[in-house]
Chains A and B, each alone.
Chain A
Amino acid sequence: MGPNPDPPRATFEQELLAAIEAVHRFAVHLTRDPTRAEDLVQETYLRALAHRDQYQPGTNCRAWLFTICRNAFLKGARHSDREIATGDASLEALAAAGIHAGMAGSDPQGAVFERPELADAIRVALEKLPEEFRTTVVLVDLEDQSYAEAARVMGVPVGTVRSRLFRARRMLQEDLLAYAEDLGLLAPQEDMN
């Protein structure tokens, strides 16, 4: 008896339908507006259907839809030319160590991140990030895309994804820890810088 044949691959239509929730979440993060997000999701699907010949079966359909979604969003929004400078990724990693060092006396193992009170604060902190940073975190940390996949979605080098991601995580941590401190969930931190 020969080897089992490959399982049947999901059809293009099945893959599109399975991605609706993820594309909707992504659109909500991009637009920060539920009504605009709905329009953006519909436009994404219209474009995907119109360009179905560009999709390669067996590749990451969600990443392909995220790319279309973001391109449609950027085309509709007046994309700011003024991009925040992206620092060196290694320096950002060391800066994250600085944040952690400031937590040494209060919560060195990050138990505060398990507090349910922080769930809404994370959403708010994400919305405050500039679009390039927000999209990077959403793709990698929320939607589980690799650095390479996120780079393809945004049309930037992998190194840029890495720098933006680390910078965005640092900004989120600073915001969340300050919020947790205000709520009395943490003792005041030492200087983080």
Chain B
Amino acid sequence: MLSCREVIEQLWDYLDGELPAERMEQIAEHLAECGRCYPQYQFEFKFLEALARQPQTAPRPPRELVERLQRLVSVG
């Protein structure tokens, strides 16, 4: 079983899906059983979700720009 410190040190990597499969499983098991680490996992997860929603609120490219690029690509 991983220690809480090991889990916390790799929590971002875990949330980003950047760890080997075996380590991902070990951390998932730890989080399922640990009342200390799980709230932090939820906290960071919600923070990353809020960041991931940003593109939905970003300004869309102006129509003229899109049309200009479409023309460029069609002749490029």
Q: List A residues at the B interface (Cβ < 8 Å).
A: 13, 16-17, 20-22, 24-25, 28, 34, 38, 41-42, 45-46, 49, 52, 90, 93-94, 96-97, 100, 103, 107-111, 113-114, 118-119, 122-123, 126, 137, 140-144, 146-147, 162, 165-166, 169, 172-173, 176
* A-B CB contact pairs (8 Å), 23 listed: A20-B69, A21-B60, A24-B61, A24-B65, A25-B55, A28-B59, A38-B61, A38-B62, A42-B72, A93-B11, A94-B9, A108-B40, A110-B47, A111-B46, A114-B49, A119-B50, A119-B53, A119-B57, A122-B51, A126-B54, A141-B48, A146-B18, A147-B18
Partner of A17, one of B9, B48, B59, B70: B70
Which listed residue, B50, B54, B62, B73, touches A45 by the CB 8 Å rule?
Answer: B73
Question: Known contacts being A93-B12, A114-B46, A147-B18, is A13 close to B69, with CB within 8 Å?
Answer: no
Alpha-carbon separation in the docked complex, A166 to B16 (Å) = 11
**B-side interface mostly:** helix
Docked Cα-Cα span, A41 to B59, in Å, equals 14
Q: Mark B26-59, 1 if CB is under 8 A from A, else 0.
A: 0000000000000110111111111111110111
Q: Which residues does chain A contribute within 8 Å of B10, judged by CB atoms?
A: 93
A119–B65 alpha-carbon span in the complex (Å)? 26
Smallest CB–CB gap between B36 and chain A, Å? 10
* Chain A residues within 8 Å of B60, by CB: 21, 24
Q: Find the B residue at minimum CB distance from A100.
A: B40
CB of A190 to closest CB in B, whole Å: 15
Residues of A contacting B74 with CB < 8 Å?
13
A97 to B8, Cβ gap below 8 A?
Answer: yes
Question: A162 — which chain B residues lie within 8 A by C-beta?
Answer: 12-13
Question: B4: nearest residue on chain A (CB-CB)?
Answer: A97
Q: A113 and B47: CB pair below 8 A?
A: yes
Q: How far is the CA of A38 from the CA of B49 in the complex (A)?
A: 28
Residues of B within 8 A of A144 (CB): 52
Interface centre among B48, B55, B66, by most chain A C-beta atoms within 10 angstroms, is: B55
Contacting pair B39 A143 (CB below 8 A): no
A93 CB contact (under 8 Å) in B9, B51, B69: B9
Given contacts A90-B9, A94-B8, A96-B12, A34 and B45 within 8 Å (CB-CB): no
